[in-house]
């Protein structure tokens, strides 16, 4: 059974001006997502600036999110690392904190061979008892999980159940789905490719867009899965200018600005990320107004 079907938000982590995690605003952001139909919360991912959280902050953010959500929807914790031992540690701590599943990115910078990826994901999965979604995003990691590798892992490791596909390569996704033959849940990792991946057999999206358009993102997926492809396509096409604006600078710079514009939380970022360029911020604000979320 899938960890979730529909729209999972790759949720931002709010910070105070001094850089500390703002748990009061974090609670508000979580409640906003649940109230607007989000099907799952993915905490401490790329959009949550996990790379600049200490291990203690990382674990506390997961624990806090699990506590606030209180089983209303699944909470999936980002616990990947380019160090297998660190990924194991974070995964075990997330399981202890009550996460319903894990999102584990491929090792970055040092990368890995396909043999290394099999060893890495197998070791992490064997260290916990909750399900794992692999995260394939070569543009950020320099490392690509080939379809054959993903399927081998899914067939041989019981709790590797899904993959977030952010390669942007629909031919690779099609091959993956063909080889998997139902053994692996596929989620779009790109907000501009939700419908194409659903049409290939995907069951949802792990979304940046959902931070500011949770209802629309949920509706896009659900309408497609319920057979209303026209309504789903209309949402996808209408969202493209906003998606472009949300990625006109490196994620999560624009989405942090977007949640600030919506009054959900401060747009404070941790270095080395810096504030959005004024021209791009104006483009983002216009796109949000045009889409009807501001």
**Is 32 considered catalytic here?**
no
C-alpha 99/C-alpha 69 separation (Å) is 10
Instruction: Compute the distance between CA of residue 208 and CA of residue 246 in angstroms, rounded to an integer.
Output: 8
C-alpha closest to that of 91 among 126, 119, 65: 126
Clarify whether 164 is annotated catalytic.
Answer: yes
∠ Cα 237 76 254 (to 5°): 45
Instruction: Look at residues 50, 137, 58 and name the one whose alpha carbon lies nearest to residue 99.
Output: 58
The catalytic residue among 32, 164, 256, 257 is 164
Residues in the chain: 294
Q: Which of 135, 224, 256, 257 is catalytic?
A: 135
- Are 254 and 280 within 8 A, CB to CB? yes
Q: Which two tokens stand for residue 100?
A: 């319903």
Q: Which of 209, 267, 263, 265 is nearest to 26 (CA)?
A: 265
* Residue numbers annotated as active site: 135, 164
């Amino acid at each position: 059974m899938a960890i979730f079907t529909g729209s999972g938000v790759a949720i931002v982590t709010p910070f105070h001006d001094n850089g500390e995690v703002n748990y009061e605003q974090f609670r508000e952001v979580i409640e906003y997502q649940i109230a607007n139909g989000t099907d799952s919360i993915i905490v401490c991912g790329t959009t949550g600036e996990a790379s600049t959280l200490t291990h203690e902050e990382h674990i506390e953010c997961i624990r806090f999110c699990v506590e606030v959500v209180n089983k209303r929807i699944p909470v999936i914790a980002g616990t990947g690392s380019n160090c297998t031992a660190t990924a194991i540690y974070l995964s075990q701590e997330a399981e202890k904190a009550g996460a319903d599943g894990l999102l584990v990115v491929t090792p970055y910078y040092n990368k890995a061979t396909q043999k290394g990826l099999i060893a890495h994901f197998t070791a992490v999965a064997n260290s916990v008892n909750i399900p794992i979604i692999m995260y394939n995003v070569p543009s950020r990691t320099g490392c690509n999980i080939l379809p054959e590798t993903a399927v081998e892992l899914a067939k041989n490791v019981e709790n590797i159940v899904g993959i977030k596909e952010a390669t942007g390569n629909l031919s690779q996704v099609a091959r993956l789905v063909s080889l998997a033959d139902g053994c692996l849940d596929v989620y779009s990792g790109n907000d501009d490719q939700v419908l194409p991946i659903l049409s290939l057999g995907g069951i949802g999206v792990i979304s940046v867009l959902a931070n500011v358009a949770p209802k629309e993102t949920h509706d896009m997926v659900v309408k497609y899965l319920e057979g209303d492809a026209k309504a789903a396509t209309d949402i996808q096409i209408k969202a493209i200018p906003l998606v472009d604006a949300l990625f006109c600078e490196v994620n999560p710079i624009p989405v942090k600005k977007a949640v600030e514009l919506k009054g959900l939380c401060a747009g404070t970022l941790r270095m080395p990320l810096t504030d959005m360029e004024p021209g791009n911020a104006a483009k983002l604000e216009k796109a949000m107004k045009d889409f009807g979320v501001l």
